[in-house]
């Protein structure tokens, strides 16, 4: 692969953000075709999983207009259920009501009543759907109101993984890299790519990163509170809400996860944000040794899971 240049294209908006697609291939035509396949896969899967498009498959299934979700949606619902259980509720795929409540609180300029939040979080359990796998297929049963099912915290990573796989479908394509608003996936034997982890306390474009490493055959995702959130009076609240309490996360301001897939990096970063730093480090440590994390608290304290130092020194 040495000596073959990257073909890099940027698209905005895709997935509601900027998407950078980089391809190394044996010739420019193959690179162009790979770029096109990546873009088409992102656009197709966005039509499946979007919560903003009322005609998406997810929205139609939520409203009960589909007797059963298609294989793509059913598979991701199963993944969401798995990570809900793995995170013991720190990740929740059906808590859109909490975000709506905080958006209303911001509009009203008054924090929600704690009793109301307790009632909302209690209503989140059990999940309103259940998945099973048989005959090589995933089956989804609705056991409650699925109107608040929101897969955003896992869908973007999944879409990135599938788009990268689509880009590599041609033997003339060696390496594909997709960066969708910070969800980054590298696949192929070609050149590794440098990754800078932003310091959440210094978010200026020219601020030095808090960590650097190179990424090959894997993914990285960061969840944080710095750039988005709710403002009520003089108080700022992060956009990541703990579905167990209903309150925005306050202790951890950034969680960066390196993993074999963008889906795992994406959802584990969310879980790590919600758990306490000690719980998050222990949680990541129970996963595959290929999954590592760096957490940063509001006071700047850093917590690294086992293997993080080795991962970033490569």
DSSP structure string for 177-192? EEEETTEEEEESSS--
Give me the sign of the Cα torsion angle 193, 7, 162, 242: positive
| 277, pLDDT greater than 50 | yes
> In a 10 Å sphere around its CB, with 0-12 CB exposed, 13-18 middle and 19+ buried, how is residue 228 labelled?
exposed
Distant-in-sequence, close-in-space partners of 119: CB < 8 Å, separation ≥ 6: none
- Residues 6 or more apart in contact with residue 157 via CB below 8 angstroms: 183, 219, 221, 261, 262, 263, 264, 265, 266, 267
Question: CATH fold of 192-314, please?
Answer: T-fold (3.10.520)
Closest of 119, 110, 82 to residue 246, by C-alpha = 119
- At residue 313, does pLDDT exceed 70? no
Whether the Cβ atoms of residue 125 and residue 89 lie closer than 8 Å to each other: yes
Report, as an integer, the average pLDDT of 123-146.
96
Comparing 1-15, 94-108, 229-243, the range with the smallest average pLDDT is: 1-15
Distance CA 282, CA 257 (A): 14
* 3-class secondary structure, 164: helix
The pLDDT tens digits of the residues spanning 173-209 come to 999 999 999 999 999 999 999 999 999 988 666 779 9
pLDDT at 225: 83
* Model confidence band, residue 1 (pLDDT cutoffs 50, 70, 90): very low
Q: Residue 16's pLDDT is what?
A: 86
- The domain spans of the chain are 57-142, 192-314
Identify the band that residue 50 occupies on the pLDDT scale cut at 50, 70 and 90: very high
The reported pLDDT for the residue numbered 90 is 98
Q: Confirm if 153 and 182 have CB atoms less than 8 A apart.
A: no
Instruction: Report the run of H or E that residue 263 belongs to, with start and end.
Output: helix 262-274
- Section 227-238 average pLDDT: 91
At residue 123, the pLDDT reads 96
Segment 289-304, tens digit of pLDDT: 999 999 999 999 999 9
């Amino acid at each position: 692969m040495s000596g073959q240049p990257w073909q890099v294209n940027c698209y905005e908006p895709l997935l509601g953000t900027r998407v950078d697609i980089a391809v190394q291939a044996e010739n420019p035509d193959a690179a162009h075709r790979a770029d096109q396949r990546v873009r088409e896969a992102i656009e197709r899967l966005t039509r499946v999983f979007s919560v903003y498009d009322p005609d998406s498959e997810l929205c139609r299934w939520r409203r009960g207009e589909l007797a059963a979700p298609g294989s793509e949606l059913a598979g991701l619902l199963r993944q969401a259920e798995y990570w809900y259980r793995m995170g013991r509720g720190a990740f929740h795929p059906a808590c859109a009501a909490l975000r709506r409540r905080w958006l209303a609180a911001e509009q009203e300029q008054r924090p929600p009543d704690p009793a109301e939040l307790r009632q909302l979080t209690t209503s989140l359990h059990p999940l309103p759907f259940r998945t099973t796998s048989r005959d090589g297929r995933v089956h989804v049963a609705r056991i409650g109101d699925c109107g608040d099912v929101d897969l955003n915290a896992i869908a973007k990573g999944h879409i990135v993984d599938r788009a990268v796989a689509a880009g590599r479908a041609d033997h003339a394509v060696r390496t594909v890299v997709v960066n969708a608003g910070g969800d980054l996936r590298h696949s192929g034997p070609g050149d590794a790519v440098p990754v800078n982890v932003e310091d959440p306390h210094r978010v200026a474009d020219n601020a030095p990163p808090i960590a650097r490493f190179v990424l090959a055959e894997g993914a990285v995702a960061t969840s944080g509170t710095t750039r988005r959130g709710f403002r009520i009076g003089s108080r700022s609240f992060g956009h990541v809400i703990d579905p167990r309490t209903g309150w925005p996360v306050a202790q951890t301001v950034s969680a960066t996860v390196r993993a074999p897939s963008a889906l795992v990096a994406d959802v584990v970063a969310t879980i790590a944000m919600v758990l306490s730093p000690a719980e998050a480090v222990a949680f990541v440590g129970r996963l595959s040794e290929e999954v590592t994390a760096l957490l940063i608290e509001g006071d700047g304290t850093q917590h690294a899971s086992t293997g993080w130092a080795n991962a970033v020194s490569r």
